[in-house]
Amino acid sequence: MPDMLAIVSKAVFEKDAGKAKLGRVLPISGYASGSKHLQKLDASSRLFLVTVRPPKEALWLVAVLESPVFDGTQWHSQPNTARLTDLSTIKDQLQFDSGKGIAAKPGALGMSLQTPRVLTTADAKLLLAAATAAKAKVPAPRPVNLAVHEQRSPLPCLCRRCITTAPEQVERHGLAFVRAKVEVKERLLWFWLPSTLSDDLASVTAAVMARLDSKLKPFRGPEAEGTADATDSDDEDE
C-alpha cells in the first residue's frame, strides 16, 4: 500500500516542538488523526509528516512514521529517526498520485495540505533524499572551549582545534610559560601563565574564575541552547 503525506498543524507543532531547529530529530511515534484518507496505510507504508513554518511558509519535514498502526484514535509507529528538514526547495517537485502537485495561493499552503495525500514512489524518494542530505545539528560539546583561534600569537594557540597538540610548557624570548585552565558553567578557558607565577596559580585561577562567573550565564535547556555544526571553524568559538 502507498506512502502518504499528512500535515502537523502549526498549533500542535509549536506546542510539542516549537523551539526545535532544523537538523534535529524529533522522536515522534504517533499522529493523532481519524481521517478516512489515512486508512490506505498498511504495514508496508510510511507516513511523512510535514508542517508549515512562518514567516515565509517554509515546508518542513517533521517525521517519517514507518509501518504506522491505527488504534482508533491515532497512528503509532517506532520513534521517528528523520531530521527536521526544510523542503521548500523541492516542494514544487512533488506530484502525488493525483499528478497535480502542490497548488496553493500565498498564505494558504497549510490549508492546501489539510487532506492527507498519497505519495508516488518518486515523491517518497525525493523526501527521503532531502532528509538524508539535511545537515545534522548537535549540541556544542561540553565544556565549551572559550579560546579563540590565534594565528599570529607568539605563544601556541589553545583553541579547541589546537589544544590537543599544545605543549604543557613553552619558552619565548627567555621567558617560560606553563599551560593552565579554569572551568566555569560548562565553559573551559585555557591560558598561558608565566612560570614565575606558578606559586600563585591557585589565586590566579580563582581570580579568573570569579571574573568569568560574573559574565557567563548557564546554558539553557537542550532545545533552546545554541548548536554547533560538526564542521564549525574555530573562528566561531565563544
Q: What is this structure's pTM?
A: 0.59
Domain 4-136, what architecture? Roll (3.10)
Q: What are phi and psi of 86, to 5 degrees?
A: -80, 120
Mean pLDDT, residues 22-42 taken together: 93
By C-alpha distance, which of 109, 89, 137 is closest to 9?
109
Burial of 12 by CB count in 10 Å (0-12 exposed, 13-18 middle, 19+ buried)?
middle
> What's the confidence (pLDDT) of residue 139?
57
> What's the confidence (pLDDT) of residue 226?
34
Task: Place 30 in a pLDDT band, splitting at 50, 70 and 90.
Answer: very high
For residue range 51-96, list pLDDT tens digits in order. Answer: 999 999 999 999 999 999 999 999 999 999 999 999 999 999 999 9
Mean pLDDT, residues 210-230 taken together: 63
Q: What are the structural domain ranges in the chain?
A: 4-136, 144-236
Neighbours of 217 (CB within 10 A): 6
For residue 52, what is its C-alpha cell?
508549515
> What's the confidence (pLDDT) of residue 152?
85
